[in-house]
């Protein structure tokens, strides 16, 4: 069995730090928000696409909508597989090359159009959105657009645009959020013309049907060789590649996710993306906009949930009135409507900013992924509750009884994964928190470094004093305290004044946390998560208000008023959540929770488990190891479409 690399906590942190994009060449609304600055001019006036881009996108989306209306998502749910002809139709429309430039055979459309396309196919079945997003958001196209050579783009992008499905392979059986322990190897051949890849990759979304793969493997360091985790383009039918299993999940039935083994797979050196050792950096850069695919599908799911909840709550009568008129359900409907508006607002503003290219949106996209995945699950759960027993019943069972086949329980299952993949909620909290404290680490990081010398710490102290002497006074007062500020937003101005005040309070709280715990702050994950949650809510409030103001000016009077009403409702709800998070920064059960958890891990509460019958016992190890060598099982790989080579 292959042994995982022995990596210390410090070494793992250094690998992650080396992979992150440290420079800030463009302004960032969210970065400034965490520093206590509400820079409304970065998001207002609301960025808008050109008329030409809108017309081009609308033409494609109209065709896609018409095609989606011919598809039957229940077939995918029932058979746990996407029919080949569904994929063929999507390929013929150009759906596999939505963001690929026209010069490479793609449609050359915007992030906004791409998000809308994901929403449309997601209405048919969530798995269709996963197929397209895994291919274009993290598969071959995006890494090559960011770091590929002209020759690589010419070789692979036209194939991707035609429908050569691609997949991204990073995770391994014992390597998830800690890439420092990556075991897959890519050893240079003696002739120096290629690499030989060995390893096993787990949860390879699209991997079962992919024609092209982005594979992350570790190149050993050597004389004149940088080494490190490196990204490769690999032909999926290369000798030595075996898809050993197609995995099955709680939701997303039809997803082509597998286990892929590499045994002495020869990959030409021309297929390295970027440089040796840049694999993780490329992966994180890809996710800057790639993460927006999840908010797109979350927004689509929430819009559908809202539609069903509204229709059912008006139709279903209990105690002489429609259930939606009863207070308990009315509050749920309000939450669903306001949150859905915010989800769509955050998504649209993030995408518009990505297309505009004026801002660095790495934090905005990360917050959108984090917040959307959490809130969409809450919206779907409320739908199930409103529907009662019918919400828990499958669509097939409802149809068999002669009732409307509403797949509420399916949407709960399909949405649940969004809180896990492309960065779990817990990892996203840490990732965003690292960016939130970046300015502080730049100013005073060496003060908290236990290995720093006395001289280094003295210099760091002087640097930190200069930074905080200028920064802290800026957090005392601001525009949010002036009742006339942001009046151009009408009745929503009060909420933006709150955002400005809360941003300064958030920055002060972050500083207090650093001063209190110093190097120990990174261990205070509950505190950091609350800091990030507050930032996410403030970003959502900002996006919602600027969108509502745009609609008030550009849409008809009725729609404009309704948008402002929804934004107002959302902001009131968000402010309640923010105040609770601020309170919990300092008044919480984090310490006692840690104590209980440590005791639990030591077995001190084993008596609580007495009498349990565990059907999983004896079925296998927690994590399956892997042995190097050729595969001993049949290859289950297949293709939707003919090979494009």
Report the DSSP beta bridge partners of residue 175. Answer: 172
Report the DSSP beta bridge partners of residue 266. Answer: 196
* Alpha carbon separation from 234 to 237, 266, 509, 516 (Å, rounded): 9, 9, 47, 49
Rg (CA), the chain: 26
How far is Cα 95 from Cα 124, in angstroms, rounded to an integer?
15
Instruction: Say how many residues make up the chain.
Output: 645
Say which residues have a Cβ less than 8 Å from residue 263's Cβ, sequence separation at least 6.
Answer: 198, 240, 241, 242, 628, 629, 630, 631
* Alpha carbon separation from 304 to 255, 290, 328, 337, 573 (Å, rounded): 21, 23, 21, 11, 21
3-state secondary structure 339-357: HHHHHHHHHHHHHHHHHHC
Question: How many Å is the maximal CA-CA distance in the chain?
Answer: 82
CA angle 472, 426, 353 (to 5 degrees): 65
Report DSSP letters for 296-332, one per residue.
HHHHHHHHHHHHHHHHHHHH-EETTEEGGGSHHHHHH
Q: N- to C-terminal Cα distance for the chain?
A: 36
How far is Cα 475 from Cα 36, in angstroms, rounded to an integer?
6
3-state secondary structure 110-135: CHHHHHHHHHHHHHHCHHHHHHHHHH
Q: Which of 256, 393, 422, 537 is catalytic?
A: 422
Residue 178 CA, distance from chain mean position:
17
| Sign of torsion over alpha carbons 39, 43, 45, 50 | positive
422 is catalytic: yes
Closest residue by Cα to residue 77 from 331, 438, 409: 409
How far is Cα 541 from Cα 561, in angstroms, rounded to an integer?
17
608 within 8 A of 377, measured Cβ to Cβ: no
If one counts every other C-beta atom within 10 angstroms of the C-beta of residue 482, the result is 12
Closest residue by Cα to residue 293 from 423, 124, 178: 423
Q: What tokens does 13 get? A: 């942190």
Query: Residue 315 burial (CB < 10 Å; 0-12/13-18/19+)?
Result: exposed
How far is Cα 249 from Cα 636, in angstroms, rounded to an integer?
17
CA angle 578, 583, 589 (to 5 degrees): 120
Cis-peptide into 178, omega within 30 deg: no
List residues with catalytic annotation. Answer: 422
């Amino acid at each position: 069995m292959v042994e995982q690399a022995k990596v210390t906590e410090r070494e793992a942190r250094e690998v992650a730090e080396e992979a992150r994009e440290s420079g800030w060449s463009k302004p960032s609304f969210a970065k400034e928000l965490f520093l206590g600055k509400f820079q409304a001019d970065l998001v207002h006036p609301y960025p808008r696409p050109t008329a030409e881009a809108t017309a081009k996108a609308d033409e494609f989306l109209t065709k896609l909508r018409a095609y989606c209306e011919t598809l039957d998502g229940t077939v995918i749910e029932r058979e746990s597989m996407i029919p080949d002809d569904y994929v063929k139709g999507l390929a013929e429309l150009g759906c596999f090359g939505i963001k690929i430039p026209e010069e490479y055979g793609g449609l050359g459309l915007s992030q906004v159009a791409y998000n809308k396309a994901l929403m449309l196919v997601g209405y048919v079945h969530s798995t269709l959105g996963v197929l397209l997003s895994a291919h274009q958001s993290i598969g071959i196209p995006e890494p090559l657009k960011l770091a590929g050579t002209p020759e690589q783009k010419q070789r692979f992008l036209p194939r991707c645009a035609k429908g050569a499905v691609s997949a991204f392979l990073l995770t391994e059986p014992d390597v998830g959020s800690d890439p420092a322990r990556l075991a897959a190897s890519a050893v240079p051949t003696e002739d120096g013309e290629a690499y030989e890849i060995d390893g096993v990759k787990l949860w390879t979304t699209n991997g079962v049907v992919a024609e092209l793969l982005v594979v992350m493997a570790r190149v050993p360091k050597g004389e004149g060789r940088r080494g490190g985790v490196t990204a490769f383009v690999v032909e999926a039918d290369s000798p030595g590649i075996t898809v050993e299993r197609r995995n099955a999940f709680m939701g997303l039935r039809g997803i082509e996710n597998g286990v892929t083994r590499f045994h002495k797979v020869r990959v030409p050196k021309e297929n390295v993306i970027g440089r040796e050792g840049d694999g993780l950096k490329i992966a994180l850069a890809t996710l800057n906009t790639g993460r927006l695919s999840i908010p797109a599908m979350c927004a689509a799911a929430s819009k559908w949930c809202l539609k069903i909840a509204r229709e059912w709550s008006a139709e279903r009568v209990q105690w002489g009135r429609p259930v939606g008129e009863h207070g308990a359900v009315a509050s749920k409907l309000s939450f669903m409507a306001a949150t859905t508006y915010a989800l769509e607002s955050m998504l649209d503003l993030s995408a518009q900013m990505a297309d505009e290219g004026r801002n660095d949106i790495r934090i905005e996209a990360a917050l959108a992924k984090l917040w959307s995945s959490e809130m969409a699950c809450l919206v779907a759960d409320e739908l199930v509750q409103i529907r009662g027993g019918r919400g828990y019943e499958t669509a097939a069972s409802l149809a068999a009884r002669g009732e409307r086949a509403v797949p509420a329980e399916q949407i709960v299952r399909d949405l649940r994964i969004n809180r896990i993949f492309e960065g779990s909620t817990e990892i996203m909290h840490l990732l965003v928190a690292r960016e939130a404290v970046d300015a502080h680490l730049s100013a005073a990081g060496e003060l908290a470094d236990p290995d720093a010398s006395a001289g280094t710490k003295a210099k760091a102290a002087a640097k930190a004093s200069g930074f905080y002497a200028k920064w802290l006074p800026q957090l005392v007062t601001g525009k949010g305290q002036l009742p006339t500020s942001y009046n151009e937003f009408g009745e929503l101005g009060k909420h933006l004044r709150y955002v400005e005040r809360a941003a300064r309070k958030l920055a002060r709280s972050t500083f207090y946390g650093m001063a209190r715990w110093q190097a120990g702050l990174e261990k205070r994950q509950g505190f950091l998560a609350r800091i990030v949650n507050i930032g996410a809510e403030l970003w959502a409030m900002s996006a919602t208000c600027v969108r509502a103001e745009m609609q008030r000016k550009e849409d008809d009077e009725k729609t404009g008023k309704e948008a402002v009403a929804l934004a107002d409702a959302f902001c009131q709800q968000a402010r309640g959540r923010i105040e609770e998070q601020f309170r919990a920064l300092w008044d919480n059960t984090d310490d006692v929770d840690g104590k209980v958890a440590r005791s639990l891990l030591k077995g001190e509460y084993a008596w609580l488990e007495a009498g349990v019958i565990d059907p999983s016992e004896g079925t296998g190890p927690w994590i399956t190891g892997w042995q190097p060598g050729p595969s001993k099982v049949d290859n289950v790989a297949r293709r939707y479409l003919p090979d494009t080579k």
